[in-house]
């Protein structure tokens, strides 16, 4: 099968959607399919052979974060050229309701289209306001996938229709087979995420750290991610700052080794999460997980059976649960065992097969994907008043 995948967010900035698209593309290629991914990327970014750059992205505030996307006449032309050059059996568009390559591809393409919805945002006024513009594009989608029940709920409440829930996938074996790093072991807590993005929750963890250190003064916090490190520890007493070790951006292998090394992985995210791929990665690597009780996180952790939950944005509750786990090796072993069993449902062997089954359903007897003529796509761009890229 020839499969086109559209990633709305810049390939050079790590994120859950980008990782999902990357891993899906590689799973499909390993399964014998021909895959091309269209994504924004800076000129200097080294891309895998299956990724086609749609040009430089610009940062746009979105859903409590900053999305790097591109959108406009030049982007629309690149989408149409890519569609013309390939004779896809199916086009898989991620986040088709965002003003990005995804929406442009949805407008431009004809033929079998699968849309995956990642966003969980129950109060999106902008999505409701844009429904009239989005409707014509969304009606072209042959099948809809949501990565969680909460992403599905956002879709249903804001845009109508429904979707089958297929979670994000993880290569469980990759995380399960790495060796811990000795210098990252021994009374360590792990955090992976953008340091200066408030919804990732590092300030909540920093607020909990003094109480943790009062009980267990030898504890270390290992932080992997980009951001202002000095600002991150500014609220800590000076004598406690040395208990925080910043690792910067880490490779996929080092991320897996970090997760395999820590005594507890903490996910203090405060909102805007539709799934929680890092929780699955942590469980796959054998890390006991402690996460805020966001609906999406609770679902990933099987209602608290596969990991501990604490009250969202409550630093005292986080500290209490973290101390209890750090003092209780038997409980940590229990969570490792439960997590190891639970993550199998998120392995690409299951998730990839489910997505492929959707492709096969929409392509049965359907003509291949083609691009609409430029006048049709241009009409929608003009309607939105798009500036040229």
Query: pLDDT by residue (tens digit) across 78-101?
Result: 999 999 999 999 999 999 988 889
CB atoms under 10 Å from CB of 332, counted, come to 18
Contact between 202 and 224 under an 8 Å Cβ cutoff? The reply is no
Q: Give the model's confidence band at 387: pLDDT under 50 very low, under 70 low, under 90 confident, else very high.
A: very low
Residue 290's domain comprises: 172-344
- Whether 369 is in a domain gets the answer yes
Half-sphere exposure of 244 (CA within 13 A, CB side): 28
213 with 316, same domain: the answer is: yes
Compare 14 and 256 and report the one with higher pLDDT: 256
Q: What is the pLDDT of residues 17-37, one digit of tens each?
A: 999 999 999 999 999 999 999
Cβ burial of 72 (10 Å; 0-12, 13-18, 19+) is middle
Q: Is residue 114 part of a domain?
A: yes
Cα separation, 358 vs 198, whole angstroms: 36
Q: Within its chain, how far is the Cα of 355 from the centroid? A: 17
Statement to judge: residues 229 and 258 lie in one domain: yes
**Residue 209 forms beta bridges with which residues?**
none
Beta bridge partners of 144: 115
Nearest to 297 by CA among 199, 212, 209: 199
Which of 73, 80, 182, 166 has the alpha carbon at shortest distance from 115? 166
Helix, strand, or coil (residue 191): strand
Structure tokens at 69: 């996307």
| Predicted local confidence at residue 359, as pLDDT | 98
pLDDT at position 388: 42
- Asked if 113 contacts 106 with a C-beta cutoff of 8 angstroms, the reply is yes
Q: Are both 15 and 88 inside the same structural domain? A: yes
| In a shared domain, residues 116 and 256 | no
Instruction: Identify whether residues 8 and 68 lie together within a single domain.
Output: yes
Q: How many domains does the chain have?
A: 2
133 and 146 in a single domain? The answer is: yes
Does residue 219 fall inside a structural domain? Answer: yes
Residues 6+ apart with CB under 8 A from 329: none
Which residues touch 192 (CB under 8 Å, ≥6 apart)?
A: 223, 224, 225, 250, 255, 258, 259, 265, 278
On average, the pLDDT of the chain sits at 90
* Mean predicted confidence (pLDDT) in 162-181: 95
| pLDDT (0 to 100) of residue 320 | 98
Share of the chain above pLDDT 90, in %: 74
Query: In the predicted model, what is the mean pLDDT of residues 172-193?
Result: 96
> What band does 158 get if pLDDT is binned at 50, 70 and 90?
confident
CA 195/CA 249 separation, integer angstroms: 10
Q: What is the largest CA-CA distance in the chain?
A: 68
The pLDDT score that the predictor gives to residue 317 is 98
pLDDT at residue 386 above 70? no
Tell whether 188 and 258 lie within a shared domain: yes
Sign of CA dihedral 255, 296, 68, 199: negative
Assess whether pLDDT exceeds 90 at residue 272: no
- Residue 57: the pLDDT is 86
| Residue 41 domain flag | yes
pLDDT in tens, 318-366: 999 999 999 999 999 999 999 999 999 999 999 999 999 999 999 998 8
pLDDT at 121: 67
* Torsion of Cα atoms, 234 then 240 then 243 then 247, to 10°: 10
- The answer to whether residue 228 is domain-embedded is yes
Q: Is the pLDDT of residue 381 over 60?
A: no
Identify the pLDDT of residue 243. Answer: 97
Residues 289-326: tens digit of each pLDDT: 999 999 999 999 999 999 999 999 999 999 999 999 99
Q: Quick one: pLDDT at residue 134?
A: 73
How much of the chain, in percent, has pLDDT values that exceed 70? 91
- Distances, alpha carbon 257 to alpha carbons 94, 100, 178, 282, 344, in Å: 29, 34, 6, 10, 19
CATH number at 247 reads 3.40.50.2000
Question: Are residues 333 and 313 located together in one domain of the fold?
Answer: yes
Q: Is residue 389 part of a domain?
A: no
One domain for residues 259 and 305: yes
Please indicate, yes or no, whether residues 69 and 183 belong to a single structural domain of this protein: no
The tens digit of pLDDT for each residue in 205-231 reads 999 999 999 999 999 999 999 999 999
Question: Cα separation of 56 and 75, whole Å?
Answer: 10
| pLDDT of 41 over the 60 cut | yes
Asked if residue 203 has pLDDT above 80, the reply is yes
Neighbour count for residue 66 (Cβ, 10 Å): 12
Helix H or strand E segment including 362: helix 348-363
Query: In the structure, what pLDDT confidence band is assigned to residue 246 with cuts at 50, 70 and 90?
Result: very high
285 and 316 together in one domain? yes
Asked if pLDDT for residue 122 goes beyond 60, the answer is: no
Q: Tell which wins on pLDDT, 124 or 73.
A: 73
């Amino acid at each position: 099968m020839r499969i086109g995948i559209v990633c709305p967010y810049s390939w050079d900035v790590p994120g859950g959607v980008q990782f999902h698209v990357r891993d899906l593309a590689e799973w499909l290629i390993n399964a014998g399919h021909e895959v091309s991914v269209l994504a924004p990327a800076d000129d200097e970014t080294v891309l895998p052979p299956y990724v086609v750059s749609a040009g430089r992205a610009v940062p746009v505030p979105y859903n409590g974060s900053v999305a790097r996307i591109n959108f406009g006449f030049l982007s629309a032309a690149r989408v149409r050229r890519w569609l013309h050059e390939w004779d896809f059996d199916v086009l898989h568009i991620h986040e088709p309701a965002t003003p990005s390559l995804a929406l442009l591809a949805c407008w431009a393409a004809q033929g079998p289209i699968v849309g995956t919805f990642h966003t969980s945002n129950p109060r999106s006024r902008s999505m409701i306001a844009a429904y009239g513009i989005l409707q014509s594009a969304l009606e072209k989608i042959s099948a809809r996938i949501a990565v969680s029940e909460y992403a599905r709920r956002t879709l249903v409440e804001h845009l109508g229709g429904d979707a089958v829930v297929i979670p994000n996938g993880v290569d469980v074996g990759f995380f399960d087979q790495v060796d811990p790093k000795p210098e990252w072991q021994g009374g360590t807590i792990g955090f992976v995420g953008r340091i200066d993005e408030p919804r990732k929750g590092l300030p909540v963890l920093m607020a909990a750290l003094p109480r943790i250190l009062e009980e267990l003064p030898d504890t270390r916090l290992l932080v992997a991610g980009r951001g202002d490190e000095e600002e991150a520890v500014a609220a800590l007493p000076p004598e406690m700052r040395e208990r925080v070790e910043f690792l910067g951006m880490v490779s996929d292998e080092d991320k897996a080794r970090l997760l395999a090394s820590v005594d507890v992985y903490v996910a203090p995210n405060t909102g805007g999460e539709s799934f929680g791929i890092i929780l699955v990665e942590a469980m796959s690597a054998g890390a006991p997980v402690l996460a805020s009780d966001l609906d999406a996180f609770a679902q990933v952790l099987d209602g608290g059976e596969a990991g501990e939950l604490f009250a969202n944005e409550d630093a005292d509750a986080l500290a209490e649960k973290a101390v209890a786990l750090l003092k209780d090796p038997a409980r940590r072993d229990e969570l490792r065992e439960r997590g190891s069993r639970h993550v199998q449902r998120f392995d690409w062997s299951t998730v990839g097969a489910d997505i492929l089954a959707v492709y096969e359903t929409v392509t049965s007897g359907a003509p291949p994907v083609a691009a609409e003529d430029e006048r049709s796509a241009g009409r929608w761009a003009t309607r939105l008043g798009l500036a040229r890229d």
